Homo-oligomer: A and B are copies of this chain.
Amino acid sequence: MSETIDNKAVQQPHNHKGCMQHALQAAEQICSQKGVRLTAIRKRILELICTSHKAIGAYELLDLFKLEDPKAKPVTIYRALDFLMAAGLVHKIESLNAFIGCLQAEKQHKSVILICDNCKNAYEVDATAVYDSLFALSESMQFKPQCLTLELHGLCASCR
């Protein structure tokens, strides 16, 4: 398995092939560990998502996928997305109705998604401190936290 990818490094211009390879290798390993099947369709959808760090919509994915399988339907994409999300390989950005590949699916991670509204890149970065603060708050409210949506829009270092 390739090395862990560094949050900060990946946001600079970088050799993106490494990101793709890392994501796909992690996917194979995770699916095999979990005893679930990374089928050809699922793998291809993951590849398409990981082509860039820009969030991509389900119907954009469908258009791309159709180039290879012209009779593909929306449900094909959504099923693959559901699988990939359940496996932690892909995250949905709720505020965009779009999807990104996870660059650290092999690790437990507590992250925020930083979304640049200019260049449209979306990166997950570690936000352990934020989670700690949030869980302390939950505790004080006697709220039992289960699923967090944490998306910060703004301008990235390159675009600000």
Contacts and interface: CB of A to CB of B under 8 A. Distances in A.
Interface string A29-49: 000000000000000000000
Contact of A133 (B130, B143, B148): B130
A18 interface: no
A67 interface: no
A138 interface: yes
Interface residues of A, number: 36
Main secondary structure of the interface of A (DSSP, over half): mixed
Given A95-B94, A137-B129, A150 B150 contact: yes
Interface in A87-129: 94-95, 112, 114, 116-117, 125, 127, 129
